Amino acid sequence: MTVPTALMAGKKGLIMGLANDKSIAWGIAQALNAHGAQIAISYQNEALEKRVKPLADQLDHEPMLIKCDVTDTASVEACFKELGEKWGKIDFVVHAIAFSDKNQLKGRTIDTTLDNFTMTMHISCFSFLEACRCASPIMNEGGSIVTLTYLGAERTLPNYNIMGVAKAALEASVRYAAVDMGKQGVRVNGISAGPIKTLAASGIGDFRKILRWNELNAPLGRNVTQEEVGMSALALLSPLGAAISGEVLHVDNGYHITGMVSLEHAHESGEVLCEF
């Protein structure tokens, strides 16, 4: 973690998608908190509030907890209404939410059911546009919105399946939302994070192998941490990112630029995953 500064002092905003201390959203919350931001955290339902409360208690600057189930438009609207009523204007929103039926994060993408396609797109993509719409009236000029995406939006990756399709739509949504929100001086960006072992990621088939593959083949030779994603999010959410909008920033130790397995580790990559 970087040395705390006052970079975000006086800035307030909402983090959506904090499940536990392994969540990428927790890395972002810690970075924003360390640099002075006041944070509201949304939780899906009462049972999950119990999980989130002990984390919120670790934050300074009087954090707020708000219920928000993104499958329910009324819940999303109520969340931002409450935020506006309690805090007036806000400066940032972090959208770190995705969901798909775990049984369809393996096997063939073409076997995705309509129900799961619709649910995956709703929770993982539409919820981002809806959050932008609801945040719009209460965002300060100079504000910033960040969502989380993955390389599976750009290229096929084993078992990522329909989530890759949803992330592609999410990345396009970042660009369109950046145009809409830019009219009020608000920036919108995505972070394409390398794989991190979280609750959501554990639903992806063979995720352990994906982690190892990235570690062996990323130019920096290791996996990214939630703290590192937090620092990049801090840059995009703060004045450090003042001229960046509509961007998808890869925070993956450079893995996305590679076109072939690392020759240095080819033997192990081969042993782990394929005949090389």
Residues annotated as catalytic are 150, 160
- Of 4-12, 134-142, 153-161, 198-206, which part binds ligand NAP (CB under 6 A)? 198-206
Choose which of 1, 172, 199, 240 interacts with ligand NAP (CB under 6 A): 199
Long-range Cβ pairs for the range 195-202 (8 Å, 24+): 195/150, 195/223, 195/224, 196/22, 196/24, 196/223, 196/224, 196/225, 196/226, 196/229, 197/22, 198/19, 198/22, 198/23, 198/24, 198/226, 199/19, 199/20, 199/22, 199/23, 200/19, 200/98, 200/99
- Of 147-155, 180-188, 238-246, 255-263, which part binds ligand NAP (CB under 6 A)? 147-155
- Of 28-36, 82-90, 181-189, 194-202, which part binds ligand NAP (CB under 6 A)? 194-202
Q: What is the CA radius of gyration of the chain?
A: 18
| Locus of tokens 């950046």 | 178
Q: Determine the Cα–Cα distance for residues 82 and 74; give it in Å rounded to an integer.
A: 12
Choose which of 41, 97, 177, 249 interacts with ligand NAP (CB under 6 A): 97
- Closer CB to ligand NAP, residue 39 or residue 193? 193
Minimum gap (Å) between residue 187 Cβ and ligand NAP? 19
Q: Give Cα 116 to chain centroid, integer Å.
A: 20
Minimum gap (Å) between residue 93 Cβ and ligand NAP? 13
Q: Which among 219, 199, 197 has a CA at the least distance from the CA of 208?
A: 197
Question: Taking CB under 6 A as the criterion, which residues in 113-132 touch ligand NAP?
Answer: 123
23 lies in the site for ligand NAP, by CB under 6 A? yes
The token duo for 274 is 């394929």
190 lies in the site for ligand NAP, by CB under 6 A? no
- Closer CB to ligand NAP, residue 5 or residue 118? 118
* CB-based burial label for 152 (10 Å; 0-12, 13-18, 19+): buried
Minimum gap (Å) between residue 263 Cβ and ligand NAP? 26
165 lies in the site for ligand NAP, by CB under 6 A? no
Choose which of 7, 15, 18, 248 interacts with ligand NAP (CB under 6 A): 18
How many residues interact with ligand NAP (rule CB under 6 A)?
26
Chain residues binding ligand NAP by CB under 6 A are 17-19, 23-25, 44, 48, 69-71, 96-99, 123, 148-150, 193, 195-196, 198-201
